[in-house]
Amino acid sequence: MISGTIWNADLGNGKYRNPILYADYSDPDVIRVGGDYFMTASSFCNAPGLPLLHSKDLVNWKVVNYIIDEIPNARYQAPIHGCGVWAPSIRYHAGTYFVCFPMPDEGIYMSTATDPFGKWSEPVNIRPGAGWIDPCPFWDEDGRAYLVAGVAKSRIGYKSVLHMVEMQPDGMGLIGEEVKIFDGNENDQVTIEGPKMYKRNGWYYIFAPAGGVKTGWQTVLRSREVFGPYEYKVVMRQGESPVNGPHQGAWVDTVTGEDWFVHFQDVYAAGRITHLQPMSWREDDWPIIGVAKDGNDYGEPVLEYRKPDVGPIDTVICEPAASDDFKEGRLGLQWQWNANPRSEWFALSGSGMQLSAVYKDAVYGDMPNLLLQKWPAPEFSCITRMDLSGLEDKDEAGVISMGMRYGVLTFRREGNRLLPYYVNGVQKYGKILPDMTEEDETALAAIAWEQTKEIYVRYTVKQTGTQDLNSNEKGFPLELVTLEYSTDGGSYQKAGEMNAVPGRWVGVKNGVFCASANKGSRGCARIISVTYSR
């Protein structure tokens, strides 16, 4: 495994900067168990799904596991962009870890483990059917359990409503009638979603963002009764900060009694990045997230702050892995496939990762065997070193920048020549799924076959300004992606560039693939290393 710092929030002086993760860990939920913090996040159609991150101090995080190896439905053998695993929740109760997650077309699922670093149980669909999203389980002191959830208008026909239902104490099913506990359409909390439930001082609290991902705020509901009625207050707004949204997240405490809030910010191409905010309580038992200014009863996000007091621990400054030399005997946890994977797609050895030439029967963006990872920073360079000498005639391998607009640099073997092509693709969406995808390709100068022992592809992301997306007056970063290639690792030739556009609910990912126009191909490409730098 190649190591290197790409983005780290720990300033090394007792302070941290936001975001704590400049990567697309969308819809984060966090818990503390003893001195350990665990975070999970959405994964949509990528597999393995539901990444599990671990931290000792809420600032330094590593990916340590995935909750599911595959998305639990046969249709995810192909990528279904924007569908699959949406916003999850993670809880710990009576010695068991629970992750509850929605699939908006299939239902609400539950998976459990007694060891979060080990194998999680096969997910159980505890509420089959479309429409409910963002579920969160809650166990009360009397042993009874409940589930609160939002709704997806695209599946159920309405939005801005939260439901509550009693749940079996083991989390494996629901009991009784579902009750509408809050309707944001009846007040100023339109698009309320992502509820997370807690209890403090006899109050039941539901933390939920409203107002939309890019322009909204954090709302808290509270009641003395599980099923309400609930009153509400806005507890964090963007204010004068550059942190738009501030969207869905989790309240978590420390062993020393401090309160903190983890949430995401949508920054367009890079996706939904993760922030950590201080949290305090007013005398009337309403929280404030962030720092209140000028006597406001709500907070604004901080960009730099003192680190949480988590007690006497030895801090290890770290970040999720990005670079990889494939020498650890297993696929690195930074990698996800574009759909449910098959074991025959890849093999690992001491000399790198071998990708099999999978028959290509779809446009590049819809190939299931794309091996992808999240952008790790606002600006970076990634060099992929490949040996393509194992390609057979009509095989190809290359690098993709994957979003609703994507760029591909691919190398096809045609006889004793290697032909590079730059491909530009655009997914055009209907209500839920793409109506169509358009691709065009540009042929580049051929490479003699004897030069194919090693090919280097350099993928560079640079911020070149801001863009107005009519949803944030401060503008979103304009990210320019450039793809170049070399046969010696020193002199690079530009293949193409584009302004990055995120995927459906996800940030841009970059990665590798190997494919073939021949169904019976036995060809392959060897990925020697993938190295990120700032």
Which positions are annotated as active-site residues?
27, 193
- The contacts of residue 316 (CB under 8 Å, 6+ apart) are 56, 60
Structure tokens at 332: 């690195």
d(CA 63, CA 4): 15
Token pair 């991902």 is at which residue? 213
Contact 398, 406 (CB under 8 A): no
Q: What is the dihedral of CA 324, 326, 327, 332, to 10 degrees?
A: 70
275, containing H or E segment: strand 272-281
> Strand, helix or coil at 222?
strand
- The contacts of residue 511 (CB under 8 Å, 6+ apart) are 335, 370, 371, 372, 373, 399, 400, 402
d(CA 324, CA 2): 5
> Strand, helix or coil at 29?
strand
Structure tokens at 330: 């297993």
Contact 428, 436 (CB under 8 A): yes
DSSP of 124-176: EEEEESSSEEEEEEEE-TTS-EEEEEEE-HHHHS--SEEEEEEE-TTSSSEEE
d(CA 108, CA 104): 8
- The contacts of residue 415 (CB under 8 Å, 6+ apart) are 393
Which residue, 312, 490, 524, 248, is CA-closest to 397? Answer: 524
d(CA 129, CA 103): 9
Cα-Cα end-to-end distance for the chain: 18
d(CA 528, CA 508): 23
Please give the distance of CA 219 from its chain centroid, rounded to a whole number: 23
Contact 471, 245 (CB under 8 A): no
> Strand, helix or coil at 119?
coil
Hey, how many other C-beta atoms are within 10 angstroms of the C-beta on 435? 9
Contact 525, 508 (CB under 8 A): no
d(CA 522, CA 525): 11
E strands in 290-341: 304-306, 336-337
Q: Sheet containing 247-253: which strands, arranged edge to edge?
A: 247-253, 259-266, 272-281, 287-289
- Would the CA dihedral through 54, 83, 348, 351 be positive or negative? negative
d(CA 499, CA 399): 17
